[in-house]
Structure 1
Amino acid sequence: MSHAQVIVVDVFIADSLVKKSEQESAMLQVSDAEAIIFNLVQPLDKKWDRELVTLLTAIDRILAIPVTSQLDFPHWDNSAMDGYAVRYEDVSGATKDCPTVLEVVEEIPAGVKPLRYIQSGQAARIFTGAVMPEGADTVVMQEQTQKQGDRVLILAAPKPQEFVRHRASFYQAGGQLLPPGITINPAEIAVLAAAQCREVTVYRRPRVAILSTGNELVAPDELLHPGQIVDSNQYALAALVAQIGSEPVPMGIVRDRPEQVKKAIAQAISVADVVLSSGGVSVGDYDYIDKNLEQLGATIHIRSVGIKPGKPLTVATFPKPKTQQSVLYFGLPGNPVSALVTFWRFVQPALRKLSGLANNWQPKFVLARTRYDLTSDGKRETYLWGQLHLVDGNYEFALASGSPSSGNLINLAQTNGLAVLPVGQTHIPAGEQVQVLQIN
């Protein structure tokens, strides 16, 4: 090797070391990075970022405005039991040895309007959900009665107003039936249907552009050549985005060429609320993401986080013309495991907050007993993937089988929890408690 070549190599190594040193010095703790990201997220605008959907398509959407109803719930006084509608004063002293005898003057099935006013000494045969007749204030369950022709024997005294569901006791017309910022689940669908809400106003789905960078990447349907790998990140991230109710916008593979990367980022920020790229955020010669973000006018808030796996993480914002919101950019690591871990830890809660959820968008951690020894080098907050199991009311964590390497995408299958080893902790023995991030 010539003297000139030695100098070039030395300069290259020195430059790489400087870049690595700069990244290490800018590395944020996980909690600090989380705070920055969550503060950057501004939920969708409840006035402009909403749409009207039919009740049958509202499942899993986020309610944008309060729902009220002009109906009382229950709509009228009704029976909570099959039995007899009576006047309490007539039956307050009834016993099995000295039953009260009442005349049955009417039968009231559910859905039928009562026709008779219940006088003293009278009763109406009534069924669950049926409207209470005027004059009656109590229901005696049929098990405490004995029918004899057009008479009924009351064999036990009920409590006053027993088994009567009073009008508006569940909800009074005009009040708030459902608050904004909640997910519409099947129970909420039932409430909306009962309130005769055939359409409901929800937040639109956030649009998330997804692109993968790397000369080595090929699509799943392409032939693999030596040195190439399949772009699994595009598909995994699109699935994760869709799973939490956002709209994925896959934008394909971008080669490691500065102008191509810059063009792809510019296109992505023009069509999306959030952009996810994977790869190109480390300190290598082919890592162009940060440089292109700066050239396009982004404000870079995070360049590196003390998390393992997933240290090279870029978070930036682009202003949106004529709005108070920004396009949020996540430059995720290219390593598939690192990309998923950083998504679960940072991106997923950010998207949930952006979507309009008022509560429960934050990461959820639970305490679990680990079935296996957990280890790390203690230098960064370490996340180990595996399965959470609920056993007799308590969580247990089983480490994924096989190599725990971040390069082992295969054993990530069936993961539903990430065990967390804090900075400075190198070992949690089997049988001890560990904090676990729930990811699904």
Structure 2
Amino acid sequence: MRGFDTILVVDWSAAEGVRRAERDSIWIGAVRDGMAEKPRPMPTRREAETWLADRIGSEIAAGRRVMAAFDFPFGYPAGFAEAVTGASDPLRLWDWLAERIEDDARGRNNRFEVAADLNRLFPGTGPFWGKPHRDRFPDIPYHGRSRDGHGMAEKRACEVASGASSSVWQLFFNPTVGSQALMGLPMLSRLRRIEGLAVWPFEPVDDAPAVLAEIWPGLIEQAVRGREGIRDMQQVARLAWAFSRLSTAELTDMMDVDAPEEGWILGAGHGPRLTELAMTAPDPMADPPPAARAPLEPPPLSNDCFALPPGVHWTPVDEALDLLRARLSPVAGRETVPAVGADGRILAADAVARRANPPGANSAVDGYGFAHEATGAGPQHLPLIAGRAAAGAPLAGAVPRGQAVRILTGALIPEGVDTVVLEEDTRTDGTAIAFNGPVKRGANTRRAGEDVDAGAVLLPAGHALRPADLALLAATGVAEVEVFRRLRVGVLSTGDELGAPGVDPDPAVTYDANRPMLLALAARWGHEPVDLGHCADDRDALRAVLDGAGTDVIVTSGGASAGDEDHVSALLGETGSLAAWRIALKPGRPLALGIWKGRPVFGVPGNPVAAFTCALIFARPALSLLAGGGWRAPLAMTVPAGFAKRKKAGRREFLRARLRDGRAEVFASEGSGRISGLAWAEGFVELPDGPAEIAPGDPVRFLPYAGFGL
């Protein structure tokens, strides 16, 4: 299992209401690429869930692997899920709760009603207990000692192993772990709909881009005790740091558990090691170190970064992709540029809102503003004060209680106003207004920061900016952004047989189709393409071109095999960096990889169809990672086949395909010389490494060109 690029640790809450004080907030600690972020307080569960969904989605999109860990049980003692849902699947229980738990924007919820319903499913009294009022919810005992005969164990095996004193059945009185689970599991049920997300330990997680896990802050109690500041903030920050510092072997060992129904606390039995690491965490109360402390110019890749393990002859596609992802790192430097012209640039540091959006409370409509407490039910009459409030022209002074002011859309809410009535719902003679009450307090107003609060992370490092992002940056006062310099991608064609398109009619001349195609791909992917031209089969001339390239990366086509005229492979072999990867895919087998004077070199096959396929499957995610944008996996969808096909085991196949009438049809010929099929197609149908027999209507995996950024 590979490690995680980003760790999120969440201190959840079941409390009702908006948490005005930070000590009562939901706290989220984060460590990203080894750097601790400032812990974030969230006033409501809804805001926390929205933030988590956005963050997990953006991390996956940027090619970073993320683990989100939560401080409440993911499962119940054995037998509970089956008693409730008829199946022992805990994820089915999550969905059952999500259908029944109600939780509004202010945190008002029905957890006690749902717990009472659950208790009625069991014999005796319980298992859930604890409530704020002795006389309410008669099916829930006030004290835990009042329960008997319900048949459920008091604790899960992981709680016994870790020495946790809390119980998932306790709904009230600290610690309210039971209420946290009832309010948290429905949220996880929704989060797990994110594509690529898996739940540990209920699902396989080795290759999942994002993983949900259960944690218990009590495992690092010694690292938190006596620290200044808010306890929950210290816990999430230090636990996130501890998990980020584990080796892959340590993390794999911790996750090697068998708990398919009850779930497990990640790190149970490893408390001393996590505590040791948590003690080294930076002070979460201090400002995080500025991004500028990172090296401006990353070091070059090592000469042996592409080396394959001994004895490897044919490399499966997934293994080749995993090797590239593990071996590569950003090589582009950083610069600060105006945000207004940064479309397509990759953020090198988080973009943070300099002010809230909206910056002040304002009116959502044209109408009249007043103090809500001066109104009631039935016909209302309020005198108008002189003047008005308009966008960009706020009212000078306050509005007296019992009076109203003309206010236009976008205008700042004047002092003395907390509610706006829609113009269409009023009558006026210019001196007073009349309308029917009651009007809801705060109606037709927008609070400051309703969209984004000042100081919030707008977009994470590694994100490629889009036009909509520029609007968000501008609205929150971000004038400049730190970005990676555009990756300079040199494209070179090799071979005596090549000629410029249309220059020589000799049929022995092959027009160079690869170079314009690869240059266009580099530009589409947001890099700076550099045309290195065409080089004949002359080793000294090729060496001179490579020496003078002046780019961050070089992509060559042709000359990548082991023949007499395969000079790209020969020169890379002289440096000791050549890795001739024979990929088990069709079309396109040879992929020559190496380092030339600190620059990565990708040698794709000379056949244009194979070159195009290898560029999309291998070069695109690799170049994105080198450019600072993280690993970019292609978009895939499952569609019915509109064709029949039988294949043998041994190679993954990419068939040129397009969608028609909801079905994937493939190009008439699989010949790798049929370039017309690339233009005809709208993507690939990807067939697995093993044998396959496809009949019309069978589900197949379709990778649209658009999913490759084209």
CA contact (8 A) 1:218 1:224 kept: no
Q: Whose radius of gyration is greater, 1 or 2? A: 1
2:613 is equivalent to residue 341 of structure 1: yes
SS of aligned partner of 1:313: strand
Check 1:188–1:120 CA distance in 2 against 1; reply closer, same or farther (3 A cut). Answer: same
SS of aligned partner of 2:441: coil
Check 1:298–1:241 CA distance in 2 against 1; reply closer, same or farther (3 A cut). Answer: farther
2:325 is equivalent to residue 38 of structure 1: yes
2:556 is equivalent to residue 277 of structure 1: yes
2:595 is equivalent to residue 317 of structure 1: yes
Check 1:236–1:434 CA distance in 2 against 1; reply closer, same or farther (3 A cut). Answer: same
Report 1:167-182 matches (<5 A). Answer: 167-182=448-463
Give the equivalent residue in structure 1 for 2:350: 66
**CA distance in structure 2 between the partners assigned to 1:130 and 1:113 by the alignment:** 6
Deviation for aligned residue 1:252: 1.5
Instruction: Deviation per CA, 1:38-60: give whole Å up to 9, x if none.
Output: 22220246xxx112333342111
Instruction: Deviation per CA, 1:345-390: give whole Å up to 9, x if none.
Output: 00011111222124x622332222222224434431100012246x
**CA distance in structure 1 between the partners assigned to 2:427 and 2:584 by the alignment:** 75
Check 1:108–1:412 CA distance in 2 against 1; reply closer, same or farther (3 A cut). Answer: same
SS of aligned partner of 1:260: helix
SS of aligned partner of 2:691: coil
Instruction: Deviation per CA, 1:318-371: give whole Å up to 9, x if none.
Output: 463xxxxxx22111110000000000000011111222124x622332222222
Deviation for aligned residue 1:249: 1.4
Give the equivalent residue in structure 2 for 1:304: 582
Q: Which structure would you say has the larger RCO, counting Cα contacts within 8 Å and 6 or more residues apart?
A: 1
AA aligned to 1:127 is: L
Deviation for aligned residue 1:239: 0.3
Deviation for aligned residue 1:69: 4.2
Q: Which moved more, 1:118-127 or 1:175-184?
A: 175-184
2:683 is equivalent to residue 407 of structure 1: no
Report 1:16-27 matches (<5 A). Answer: 26-27=313-314
Which of residues 504, 508, 514 in structure 2 aligns to 1:223? 504
Q: Which moved more, 1:126-135 or 1:149-158?
A: 149-158
Give the equivalent residue in structure 2 for 1:436: 702
CA contact (8 A) 1:54 1:199 kept: yes
**CA distance in structure 2 between the partners assigned to 1:119 and 1:337 by the alignment:** 75
Q: Which runs of 4+ in 1 moved over 6 A?
A: none
2:337 is equivalent to residue 53 of structure 1: yes
CA contact (8 A) 2:641 2:665 kept: yes
CA contact (8 A) 1:84 1:140 kept: yes
Which of residues 652, 673, 681 in structure 2 aligns to 1:381? 652
**CA distance in structure 2 between the partners assigned to 1:355 and 1:262 by the alignment:** 25
Check 1:292–1:397 CA distance in 2 against 1; reply closer, same or farther (3 A cut). Answer: same
Q: Which moved more, 1:284-293 or 1:211-220?
A: 284-293
**CA distance in structure 2 between the partners assigned to 1:411 and 1:139 by the alignment:** 61
**CA distance in structure 2 between the partners assigned to 1:290 and 1:42 by the alignment:** 23
Give the equivalent residue in structure 1 for 2:524: 243
Instruction: Deviation per CA, 1:232-280: give whole Å up to 9, x if none.
Output: 1010000001100111111111212333334333444xx2222111112
**CA distance in structure 2 between the partners assigned to 1:59 and 1:25 by the alignment:** 42
**CA distance in structure 1 between the partners assigned to 2:563 and 2:579 by the alignment:** 20
CA contact (8 A) 1:308 1:382 kept: yes
SS of aligned partner of 1:352: helix
Which of residues 383, 386, 394 in structure 2 aligns to 1:113? 394
Give the equivalent residue in structure 1 for 2:632: 361
- Which structure carries more strand by proportion? 1
**CA distance in structure 2 between the partners assigned to 1:375 and 1:241 by the alignment:** 34
Give the equivalent residue in structure 1 for 2:114: none
2:676 is equivalent to residue 397 of structure 1: no
Deviation for aligned residue 1:407: 0.5
5+ residue gaps, structure 2, are: 1-310
Deviation for aligned residue 1:423: 2.1
Please give the TM-score of this superposition, normalised by the length of structure 1.
0.83
CA contact (8 A) 1:91 1:154 kept: no
Give the equivalent residue in structure 1 for 2:565: 286
Q: Which moved more, 1:120-129 or 1:338-347?
A: 120-129
**CA distance in structure 2 between the partners assigned to 1:25 and 1:196 by the alignment:** 53
Which of residues 165, 171, 192 in structure 1 aligns to 2:446? 165
Check 1:424–1:171 CA distance in 2 against 1; reply closer, same or farther (3 A cut). Answer: closer
Deviation for aligned residue 1:294: 1.2
CA contact (8 A) 1:64 1:202 kept: yes
**CA distance in structure 2 between the partners assigned to 1:144 and 1:396 by the alignment:** 52
Instruction: Deviation per CA, 1:376-406: give whole Å up to 9, x if none.
Output: 34431100012246x7xxx642323x42311
Q: How many pairs does the alignment contain?
A: 395
CA contact (8 A) 1:146 1:155 kept: no
Deviation for aligned residue 1:29: 0.8
AA aligned to 1:397 is: A
Check 1:346–1:165 CA distance in 2 against 1; reply closer, same or farther (3 A cut). Answer: same
AA aligned to 1:26 is: H
Instruction: Deviation per CA, 1:25-84: give whole Å up to 9, x if none.
Output: 622111111111122220246xxx112333342111112223334423222111112221
Question: Percent identity, aligned pairs only?
Answer: 33
Q: Which moved more, 1:327-336 or 1:310-319?
A: 310-319
Give the equivalent residue in structure 2 for 1:92: 376
SS of aligned partner of 1:303: strand
Check 1:167–1:56 CA distance in 2 against 1; reply closer, same or farther (3 A cut). Answer: closer
CA contact (8 A) 1:27 1:306 kept: yes
Please give the TM-score of this superposition, normalised by the length of structure 2.
0.53
SS of aligned partner of 1:293: helix
**CA distance in structure 2 between the partners assigned to 1:126 and 1:302 by the alignment:** 71
